[in-house]
Chain A
Amino acid sequence: MKAIVNVFLKPGVLDSQGKAVHHALDSLKFDGVKDVRVGKQIILELDAADEAAGRAEVTEMCESLLANTVIEDYAIEIVS
């Protein structure tokens, strides 16, 4: 089973890297960009009995290690 985890700073938290990328896009004349957030993607290959079990385990991974839930949100996509 493959799980794709996307980790981003929470909406209320200043994303300095996103801002920097936004400014760079502006100077490259991409005028329509309203907002940029930069996060990270972690791709896991794991054994799991079924999707529910896999999702539960990956959730635990996110809560403990993959995301700092003080400042980050995460989203899990299971690609079976």
Chain B
Amino acid sequence: MKVSIIQFPGTNCEYDTRYAFEKLGAATEIVWHKETAVPADTDLVVVAGGFSYGDYLRSGAIARFSPVMKAVETYAARGGKVLGICNGFQVLTESRLLPGALKRNEHLHFISRHHHLKVAGNDNAFLNKLSKGDVVNIPIAHHDGNFYIDPDGLKALYDNDQVLLHYCDAEGSISNPNGSVDAIAGVCNASKNVFGLMPHPERAMEAILGSDDGVAMLEGFFAS
């Protein structure tokens, strides 16, 4: 399993992401944003978290035009699997590989804490090691994680089983930290090969760090 991790100026989660996937047995490569091709034999592209281009203008708005993103778009169009975590999710919505947009958190604070998530969609290449309704505990760390999509788009997400995760409490009741519509924490595209979520599963790989629930999430990609 080969995971290629995209690195923009300002990305800061690429090393944690590498650690997480190597812990699960993958070979990894960190790919600088100026590269014009996704490395050969890549099974999964991860657009890592951080503050690409300082979140200037809008989070991910400038990164989406980096040379490497043309290659990622081609890779995704061919059915290649792409995972965007946090800033990566923002880059993917800006490049329209994922629907919707991420806005400033409703209460305007940067939120940095563990939060529970309830699995809504597991019939995909990502969350297939979890069951619907499973509750996982994963760190969130974002200022602009407020997922927005218009009512028609929201209906389409549900109709096509594109909603991956909702923010919830430890018992699985909805608990929305940032104003996201329907407390949605992650979505995928209609063809279910591009995934995005605001929480950081790569920061939940070892119990000593507060949760290892990220293991079961990322392991899903290894199942094919």
* Chain A residues, CB < 8 A from B146: 16
Q: Does A20 contact B (CB under 8 A)?
A: yes
- List 6 A-B residue pairs with CB atoms under 8 Å apart, sorted by A's residue number: A14-B106, A16-B107, A20-B108, A65-B57, A70-B93, A71-B103
Cβ of A68 and Cβ of B61 under 8 Å apart? yes
Cβ of B101 and Cβ of A16 under 8 Å apart? no
Cβ of B101 and Cβ of A17 under 8 Å apart? no
* B-contact 0/1 string along A1-36, CB 8 Å cutoff: 000000001001110110010000000000000000
Q: Does A78 contact B (CB under 8 A)?
A: no
Known A68-B94, A70-B101, A71-B103; judge A16-B108 contact (CB<8 A): yes
List residues of B whose CB falls within 8 A of some A CB: 57-58, 61-62, 65, 93-94, 100-101, 103-108, 146, 148-150, 179
* Chain B residues, CB < 8 A from A16: 103-108, 146, 179
* Chain A residues, CB < 8 A from B94: 68
List residues of A whose CB falls within 8 A of some B CB: 9, 12-14, 16-17, 20, 65-66, 68, 70-71
Q: Which of A17, A20, A66, A71 is within 8 Å of B148, CB to CB?
A: A71
* Chain B residues, CB < 8 A from A66: 57
* Chain A residues, CB < 8 A from B65: 65
**Secondary structure dominating the interface of B:** loop
Q: Which of B58, B104, B179 is within 8 Å of A17, CB to CB?
A: B104
Complex Cα distance, B54 from A20, in Å, reads 24
Interface centre among B57, B106, B179 (most CB of A within 10 A): B57
Cβ of A68 and Cβ of B107 under 8 Å apart? no
Complex Cα distance, B146 from A9, in Å, reads 14
* Chain B residues, CB < 8 A from A17: 104, 108
* Chain A residues, CB < 8 A from B107: 16
CB of A65, distance to nearest CB on chain B (Å):
6
Residue of A nearest to B181 (CB): A14
Known A14-B106, A16-B105, A16-B108; judge A65-B61 contact (CB<8 A): yes
Cβ of B179 and Cβ of A14 under 8 Å apart? yes
CB of A33, distance to nearest CB on chain B (Å):
18
Residue of A nearest to B62 (CB): A65
Known A13-B148, A16-B179, A65-B57; judge A70-B108 contact (CB<8 A): no
Complex Cα distance, B96 from A70, in Å, reads 10
Complex Cα distance, B107 from A20, in Å, reads 9
Complex Cα distance, B148 from A12, in Å, reads 11
